[in-house]
Structure 1
Amino acid sequence: MLKTTLARIAHPVERILDRVFLRQAPTNVVIDPYLGYATEDEILLRGRVLTSLRRTTPSPQASWWVNLRQMAGLFLTREVAERTVCCGDHSAVTDDEGYFTLHVPRGDARPGWFSADVSVDGGDPVTLEALVASSAAPFMVISDIDDTVLHTGAYSLLRNLWTSLTGNALTREIFPDAVALMKGFEALDAPIYFVSSSPWNLHYFLLRIFDRHDLPKGPMFLRDLGISKTQFISGTHGDHKGAAIDALLAANPALPAVLVGDTGQHDPKVYLAATERHPGRIARVILREPGKGADRRDLARIAQMETLGVRVDHGPDYTDVSPELVRLAS
Structure 2
Amino acid sequence: MQLIDGKATSNAIKIEIAEEVRKLTAQGGKKPHLAAILVGEDGASRTYVNHKVKSCEQVGFTSSLYKFDADTSEEELLKTIDELNNNADVDGFIVQLPLPKHINETKVTEAIDPEKDVDGFHPTNLGKMMLGLPTFLPATPYGIVQLLDRYNIETSGKKCVIIGRSHIVGTPMSLLMSRNAKVGNCTVTLTHSRTQNLKEECQQADILIVALGRAEFVTADMVKEGAVVVDVGITRIEDPSKKSGFSLKGDVKFDEVAEKASWITPVPGGVGPMTVVSLLMNTLESARRKSVKESV
Compute the TM-score of the two structures, normalised by the length of structure 1: 0.29
Compute the TM-score of the two structures, normalised by the length of structure 2: 0.31
Higher strand share goes to which structure? 1
Structure of greater relative contact order (alpha carbons < 8 Å, 6+ residues apart): 2
Which of the two has higher C-alpha Rg?
1
